């Protein structure tokens, strides 16, 4: 029996590979997280790209977010009661920012088998279409793994600028209001355009897997947020006790080194 999603929501997710809008944390909590991030950046400068990944290891607000009941109830409906968070990514587009995300499948370089991963993408600001909301190609998750080409474009927010050629006329944009989320399958073709608005657009992608999923090469870490892990395919991750403590930064650094070794194993170049 589904906990948060209706049977028709679940059927749509299975058919299309995505679902939105799904209620998540509400506007007040989302605005508070947005403000905490803005305050941190006002004091320390913009978060470097590497620190926008696995942010649940660095900031207590994001550590709480990945354990949020409403988010996990919906995720559980898709992948079952035992849930590991394999990653988090902040996707930030400043006002009139040319940053974009090319068409891609998340599964491309992540080396996860079987490809059972759902992303809960939570909007921390309003995300109208013009701000560069995500867009999805319905049903593309059923096409298996497609061949991508790496571009390393400087405005592309993806690690390798990996790209697919897709028919834009089939794209479904996914605008969200602050505090809502979308769910998408790891094999779904998706992208997002530049932010044409005067407002900052901020979202956080939470990558959730059931514990039977394993990393095909090397070893990486993940955080158990619900149920149990009887497989032990991932190293456990510590929960930060305060924002950016030296211990948290060191744990994050170690986790990201493993992750990058895996992600760029066959790449010709990698970001600094």
Ligand X SMILES: O=C(O)CCC(=O)C(=O)O
Residue 125 or 192: the one with the smaller Cβ distance to ligand X is 192
Q: What are the residues whose beta carbons fall under 8 Å from the beta carbon of 261, sequence distance 6 or more?
A: 218
Query: Site size for ligand X, by CB under 6 A?
Result: 11
140 is an interface residue for ligand X by CB under 6 A: no
Q: Please confirm whether the linkage preceding 21 is cis (ω < 30° from 0).
A: yes
Looking at 121, 148, 197, 240, which residue binds ligand X (CB under 6 A)? 121
| Shortest distance, position 247 Cβ to ligand X, whole Å | 28
Looking at 134, 174, 213, 251, which residue binds ligand X (CB under 6 A)? 134
Residue 132 or 240: the one with the smaller Cβ distance to ligand X is 132
| Shortest distance, position 148 Cβ to ligand X, whole Å | 13
188 is an interface residue for ligand X by CB under 6 A: no
119 is an interface residue for ligand X by CB under 6 A: yes
106 is an interface residue for ligand X by CB under 6 A: yes
Residue 161 or 203: the one with the smaller Cβ distance to ligand X is 203
Looking at 18, 20, 62, 91, which residue binds ligand X (CB under 6 A)? 91
Residue 192 or 220: the one with the smaller Cβ distance to ligand X is 192
Looking at 25, 123, 164, 205, which residue binds ligand X (CB under 6 A)? 205
87 is an interface residue for ligand X by CB under 6 A: no
Looking at 17, 61, 179, 203, which residue binds ligand X (CB under 6 A)? 203
Per-position b or e across 175-200, b if 16+ CB within 10 A of its CB = bbebbbbbbbbbbbbbbbbbbebebb
Residue 200 or 254: the one with the smaller Cβ distance to ligand X is 200
| Shortest distance, position 248 Cβ to ligand X, whole Å | 23
| Shortest distance, position 99 Cβ to ligand X, whole Å | 8
Residues of this chain that bind ligand X (CB under 6 A): 91, 101, 106, 119, 121, 132, 134, 190, 192, 203, 205
């Amino acid at each position: 029996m589904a906990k948060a999603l209706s049977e028709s929501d679940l059927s749509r997710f299975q058919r299309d590979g995505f679902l939105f809008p799904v209620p998540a944390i509400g506007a007040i909590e989302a605005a508070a997280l947005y403000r905490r991030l803005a305050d941190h950046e006002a004091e320390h400068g913009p978060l470097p790209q590497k620190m926008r990944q696995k942010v649940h290891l660095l900031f207590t607000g994001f550590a709480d977010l990945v354990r949020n009941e409403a988010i996990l109830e919906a995720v559980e409906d898709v992948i079952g009661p035992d849930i590991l968070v394999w990653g988090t990514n902040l996707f930030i587009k400043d006002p009139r920012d040319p940053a974009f995300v090319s068409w891609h499948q998340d599964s491309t370089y992540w080396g996860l088998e079987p490809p059972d991963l759902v992303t809960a993408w939570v909007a921390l600001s309003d995300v109208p279409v013009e701000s560069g909301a995500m867009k999805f190609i319905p049903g593309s998750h059923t096409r298996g793994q497609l061949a991508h080409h790496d571009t390393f474009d400087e405005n592309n927010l993806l690690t390798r600028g990996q790209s697919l050629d897709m028919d834009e006329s089939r794209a479904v944009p996914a605008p969200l209001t602050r505090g809502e989320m979308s769910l998408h399958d790891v094999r779904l073709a998706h992208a997002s355009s530049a932010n044409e608005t005067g407002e900052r657009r901020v979202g956080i992608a939470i990558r959730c897997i059931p514990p039977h999923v394993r990393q095909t090469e090397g070893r990486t870490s993940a955080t158990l947020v619900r149920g149990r892990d009887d497989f032990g395919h991932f190293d456990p991750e510590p929960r930060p006790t305060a924002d950016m403590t030296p211990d948290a930064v060191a744990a994050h650094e170690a986790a990201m080194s493993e992750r990058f070794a895996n992600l760029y194993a066959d790449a010709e170049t990698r970001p600094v």
